[in-house]
Amino acid sequence: MKFGIVSILLVLLFTNGVLNQEEDETSDEASTTEAIPEYENDDEPVIPVYIQPRFDEEGDIKWFPRIIGGTPAVMGEFPGKVSLQTRMGSHFCGGTLIDLNHVLTAAHCVTDSRSQVFNPAALQIMAGDVSITRNSPAATRETRLVSHIFAHPDYDIGTMENDIAVIRVSIPFRLQQGIVMPRPLSRSVPPVGTVCVLAGWGTTSEGTNTPSPSLQRVDLDIIDTDRCNQSYRGLLHGNMFCAGHMAGGRDSCQGDSGGGLMCDGLVTGIVSFGYGCGRRHFPGVYIDVSQYLEWIQQNQGFDGTHDDIPTPRPSNYDIATMENDIAVIRVSIPFRLQQGIVMPRPLSRSVPPVGTVCVLAGWGTTSEGTNTPSPSLQRVDLDIIDTDRCNQSYRGLLHGNMFCAGHMAGGRDSCQGDSGGGLMCDGLVTGIVSFGYGCGRRHFPGVYIDVSQYLEWIQQNQGFDGTHDDIPTPRPSSASF
């Protein structure tokens, strides 16, 4: 039977608490071929969605959509985790920072029962804290108003397909101890059995609607999709996968919807729906982030309603992985060569050996957690770090066009406001400050773009900008860096 009006009616029934089913607990756990669980009405499979939040007269959440079997998370463990809240500060869904301006969440968290997007002015985003209590003493907590909400245009409330959304905040979050460089997005779902981790403020048991006051975390296994789909009677679509435990006991629950499932340090899934919380045979269902990378990037780059001009960058720059994080800016009037502005340094043709001491200068903040740039230019000596060793710390996030510099013991690094600056090695511009985990943290040196891999692209963009009929600067045909 196709999902249509019947599906929506079931959703409404679920909203009002009419649907209350219990699974059969009598099957043999040791059985290798488990029977498909029975529903109360065998003629019409239940769509176990986590529907939209309900509000009371004051604007507080009365009921909200979906960590069972979890443990408390510690401060800084999930720095990209955010709480979607009403303007009254009531938590109703989770989300993940994908940059300092945008949050990735589920479409059902930001739409009503008619799939209409909520008024952005009714919501706020809280980050930088493990507690959602209003009197939390955390100095790192930040709350932002919402300026735009982008629910996927093909989101289907009946089938939960394309249950994904991007929220843009009115003012960017600040990089600090509780809010660090957001994690990249995964390009695939890892193999069955991979252990991933989910964090959320959702209820800690089924049947309650009070969120956990402190962030909880739980390890969840990637489940075989075909096996999971048997339990859900074929309700899963190609953009979904399952994670949890077939034996039950560990799962997401009400209030965890929209949160990001982290696998190998990458945002891999978005909590979408499930049948109950932690029930046997019914692991949680997640939206596969890897299938929406282009759509996510589009909604990070522009809002779809204004003629925003994106910052010039290589056509293959990837905001999710930070690959090709390089740009060239042309000024309207050339700078004058004088005492403070001399002939620019040439570009390096290779990254020097591990242990080479390079130098970085910048006006960035001088300590993590602050947002005030240094009034005077600062300089620091940084060592070239073994890439494989650095990549271990970053869980394989580095790509071939990146390298690391700093100190594995911490204490010396680039910080907020230094991004884009040039790392000088032997008098040559060798790297561009790209990203890092915090500032000067042990085991996490800064990550730099390897300039030597972009010499031809840089030279092209010095000659013309690709959008105007500029006359390239005259230079010998044999010019090189």
Q: Which residues are catalytic?
A: 108, 163, 257
Backbone angles phi, psi at 142, to 5 degrees: -135, 140
Full DSSP string of 442-453: TT--EEEEEGGG
Q: Which residues pair with 338 in a beta bridge?
A: 341
Q: With residue 458 as reference, give the H or E element that holds it.
A: helix 455-463
Measured distance CA(176)–CA(188) in Å, rounded: 29
SS3 30: coil
Buried b (16+ CB within 10 A) or exposed e, 235-273: bbbebbbbbbbbebebbbbbbbbbbbbbbeebbbbbbbb
Which of 147, 197, 169 lies closest to 395 in space, CA to CA? 197
CB atoms within 10 A of CB 90: 22
Q: How far apart are the first and last CA of the chain?
A: 66
Please name the amino acid found at residue 245. H
Measured distance CA(218)–CA(66) in Å, rounded: 14
The residues near 220 (Cβ < 8 Å, ≥ 6 apart) are: 195, 196, 197, 198, 243, 244, 245, 250, 251, 261, 283, 284
Backbone angles phi, psi at 9, to 5 degrees: -60, -40
- Looking up tokens 């242990």 gives 355
The residues near 418 (Cβ < 8 Å, ≥ 6 apart) are: 360, 362, 363, 364, 433
Please name the amino acid found at residue 429. V
- Looking up tokens 């130098």 gives 359
Full DSSP string of 267-335: EEEEEEE-SSSS-TT--EEEEEGGGGHHHHHHHHH--SSS---PPP--TT-BTTTTBT-------SSPP
Beta strands in 363-441 (DSSP E): 378-385, 402-406, 422-425, 428-435
- In contact, 177 and 438? CB cutoff 8 Å: yes
